[in-house]
Amino acid sequence: MLYLVGLGLGDERDITLRGLDAVRRCSRVYVEAYTSLLSFGVASDGLSKLEELYGKEVTVADREMVEEKADEILSEARESDVAFLVVGDPFGATTHTDLVVRAKNLGLEVKVIHNASVMNAIGICGLQLYRYGETISIPFFTDTWRPDSFYPKIQNNRRLGLHTLCLLDIRVKEPSFESLCRGKKCYEPPRFMTVNTAIDQLLEVEESRGESAYGADSLCVGIARLGSPDQKIVAGSMKQLLDVDFGPPLHCLIIVGETHPVEEEMLQFYLIK
Amino acid sequence: MLYLVGLGLGDERDITLRGLDAVRRCSRVYVEAYTSLLSFGVASDGLSKLEELYGKEVTVADREMVEEKADEILSEARESDVAFLVVGDPFGATTHTDLVVRAKNLGLEVKVIHNASVMNAIGICGLQLYRYGETISIPFFTDTWRPDSFYPKIQNNRRLGLHTLCLLDIRVKEPSFESLCRGKKCYEPPRFMTVNTAIDQLLEVEESRGESAYGADSLCVGIARLGSPDQKIVAGSMKQLLDVDFGPPLHCLIIVGETHPVEEEMLQFYLIK
């Protein structure tokens, strides 16, 4: 049996009772490292808090390991119960669909234990979840790669009066350009996009496209460390949010569409005065 | 302190450790009844499973109570710790924004403990969450009230190739028409819209609008009891799903937009052969 267990957003105590039951039942426990684990509350103490809570060893499975050793993980799951832990929900912003598809194709039973993810926890800012359009991802621009395929999506959402959730780039364990050239693997330090960088890039794209999908005065909500005790939520224009220090990762950004009174009542608590 | 605690989707063991800590700390515990509690795993045993787990009494707060007694709940929260439990996530499909706004306006501290909700747990069917457009709600049609304001929303989503989550009507503790006439409160039995009724209504609207936003051959995913051990997920055309018995509530429906290969790989496990 393969268990996919969502860990939620804050720290080790955001696992559900059902999730903890499953983990304690398993002979082998993996935790994904390749998306948001570094921002999870357990980061500073490594895995010790998780291992203490579960009463067993936890193996970090980074992107390479999941891609290269999926067969091994799945053959263990054929023999005994294996848990694969995912920050947020197993089917949240990051997909673990591939692992599930492979498991099911092998005839393995898969149980999914859900939890909160950024996709629903953003409801806390007061904007109604059913009034969001397509979610976009904003990648780090480089000198030579400045993709703006998110622009028409934001445009469509705003024409329909809908909010846009912007997921911001996470670069963990990226092979460095130099190391690729030398043929051996060295990694860049992890990078997380801030709300400020996201807005910088958005405004650059608006300037070059010039179709007024949004602008420096567009109302946005910046969120850092959603679901953690020290989460930070600030609403204001893009221009205003450029100067806000949101602190440590993870960050995300919402471009606000048309608002209803009940949404405005809640947003006011987060507005820059 | 007011705690808003998400209970998740399955049963009493879907609460998080952090949520359970909060509930056990509180002197008063309310649980919402007015959306989906009847479908929650605890329904058949009343509240006893919740009370047993929490080690304290739980008060059911139906819609009337929350609206009429919000001041009372909030003044209790001023004196001591009060928990308000919500099936799913506190800011999921149903909004508890109003209670939070009132609490904050009174200067009360509010802590939100997130959990899975239908808005993110639908990821399990394989359709990527970031490829959904605006979420729609389908209300029960009556002889004289057949609103179709969801139609242009589906149309917009499909033009953009996006999936549409349809939340289906729940009628709990609705005053009966007769009782309203007599000036005293009697309630209709609770009603939950099935996937079949939703599709019936959708096809009726398409027939009268005739703009081919979708049709009997459009691919959909019907989901019942999402997140419960006995959840049922079936993918097929609207016509095919009309004949599927999804069993007890809650149901929801997804109208599938354009699909990517990774989505198709996962969907195949649910397709009617």
SS (H, E, C) chain B: CEEEEECECCCHHHCEHHHHHHHHHCCEEEEECCCCHHHCCCHHHCCHHHHHHHCCCCEEECHHHHHHHHHHHHHHHHHCCEEEEECECCCCCCCCHHHHHHHHHCCCCEEEECCCCHHHHHHHHCCCHHHECCCEEECCCCCCCCCCCHHHHHHHHHHCCCEEEEEECEECCCECHHHHHHCCCCECCCEECCHHHHHHHHHHHHHHHCCCCCCCCCEEEEEECCCCCCCEEEEEEHHHHCCCCCCCCCEEEEECCCCCHHHHHHHHHHECC
DSSP code, position A79 = H
Contacts of B97 in chain A (CB under 8 A): 126, 128, 262-263, 265-266
Contacts of A128 in chain B (CB under 8 A): 95, 97
What does the alpha-carbon distance between residue B165 and residue B153 come to, in Å, rounded to a whole number?
A: 11
CB neighbour list of residue A122: distance below 8 Å, 6 or more residues apart: A129, A165, A223, A226, A252, A254
pLDDT in the model for residue B205: 98
Q: 3-class DSSP state for residue A201?
A: helix
Per the CB < 8 A criterion, the answer to whether B231 and B255 are in contact is: no
CB contact under 8 A, A13 and B6: no
DSSP code, position A142 = -
CB contact under 8 A, A121 and B97: no
Q: How far is B125 from chain A (nearest CA, A)?
A: 9
This complex has an ipTM of: 0.92
For chain A, residues with pLDDT lower than 70 are 34-46, 92-95, 173-185
Chain center to CA of A55: 27
What does the alpha-carbon distance between residue A194 and residue A223 come to, in Å, rounded to a whole number?
A: 10
Topology classification of domain B2-116: Cobalt-precorrin-4 Transmethylase; domain 1 (3.40.1010)
Contacts of B114 in chain A (CB under 8 A): 8-9, 14, 116, 120-121, 124, 227
Structure confidence by residue, pLDDT tens digits, B155-212: 999 999 999 999 999 887 666 666 666 666 677 777 899 999 999 999 999 999 999 9
Nearest residue to B113 via CA among B225, B226, B27, B24: B24
Q: How far is A8 from chain B (nearest CA, A)?
A: 7
Q: Known binding site for S-adenosyl-L-methionine: residues of A?
A: 9, 89, 92, 117-118, 168, 226, 251
Residue with tokens 């009066």: A161
CB contact under 8 A, B115 and A15: no
**Which DSSP helix (H) or strand (E) runs through A155?**
helix A150-159
Q: How far is B207 from chain A (nearest CA, A)?
A: 24
What does the alpha-carbon distance between residue B80 and residue A160 come to, in Å, rounded to a whole number?
A: 44
Q: Which of B14, B160, B262 sits opposite A134 (nearest CB)?
A: B160
CB contact under 8 A, A115 and B119: no
Domains A2-116 and A119-267 in one fold: no
Residue with tokens 């390479």: A64
Contacts of A17 in chain B (CB under 8 A): 13-17, 20
CB contact under 8 A, A89 and B128: no
Q: Which of B13, B92, B112 sits opposite A18 (nearest CB)?
A: B13
What does the alpha-carbon distance between residue A167 and residue A139 come to, in Å, rounded to a whole number?
A: 9
CATH of B119-270, one of 2.30.30.240, 1.20.1070.10, 3.20.20.70, 3.30.950.10: 3.30.950.10
Report the residue of chain A nearest B104, measured CA to CA: A269
Domain A119-267 carries which CATH code? Answer: 3.30.950.10
Measured in residues, chain A has a length of 273
Sign of the CA dihedral with B189 first, then B194, B198, and B199 last? negative
Task: Report whether B168 belongs to an annotated binding site.
Answer: yes
What does the alpha-carbon distance between residue B247 and residue B27 come to, in Å, rounded to a whole number?
A: 38
Domain ranges in chain B? Answer: 2-116, 119-270
Phi and psi based region of residue B46 (left: phi greater than 0; alpha: psi -120 to 50; beta: remaining): left
pLDDT in the model for residue B30: 92
Contacts of B85 in chain A (CB under 8 A): none
Structure confidence by residue, pLDDT tens digits, B79-136: 999 999 998 999 865 558 888 999 999 999 999 999 999 999 999 999 999 999 999 9
Contacts of A119 in chain B (CB under 8 A): 119-120, 123, 129-130
What does the alpha-carbon distance between residue A29 and residue B209 come to, in Å, rounded to a whole number?
A: 53
CB contact under 8 A, A97 and B266: yes
Instruction: At B104, give phi and psi (nearest 5°).
Output: -65, -35
Report the residue of chain B nearest A265, measured CA to CA: B101
CB contact under 8 A, B112 and A120: no
Pick from B35, B91, B112 the residue to mutate for testing the A interface (most A CBs within 10 Å). Answer: B91
What does the alpha-carbon distance between residue B162 and residue B38 come to, in Å, rounded to a whole number?
A: 31
Instruction: At A178, give phi and psi (nearest 5°).
Output: -60, -45
pLDDT in the model for residue A258: 98
Sheet containing strand B59-61, strands side by side: B59-61, B28-32, B82-86, B2-6, B110-113
Per the CB < 8 A criterion, the answer to whether B236 and B248 are in contact is: no
Task: Report whether B36 belongs to an annotated binding site.
Answer: no
Task: Report whether B226 belongs to an annotated binding site.
Answer: yes
B199-to-A177, A209, B165, B206 alpha-carbon distances in Å: 52, 41, 13, 10
CB contact under 8 A, A6 and B93: no
CB contact under 8 A, A89 and B117: no
| CA angle, B173 then B69 then A116, to 5° | 70
Contacts of A7 in chain B (CB under 8 A): none
Strands A28-32 and A82-86: parallel
Per the CB < 8 A criterion, the answer to whether A7 and A19 are in contact is: yes
Contacts of A120 in chain B (CB under 8 A): 89, 91-92, 114, 116-117, 119-120
| CA angle, B160 then A162 then B169, to 5° | 90
CB contact under 8 A, B123 and A92: yes
CB contact under 8 A, A101 and B156: no
What type of residue sits at position B138?
I
CB contact under 8 A, A134 and B131: yes
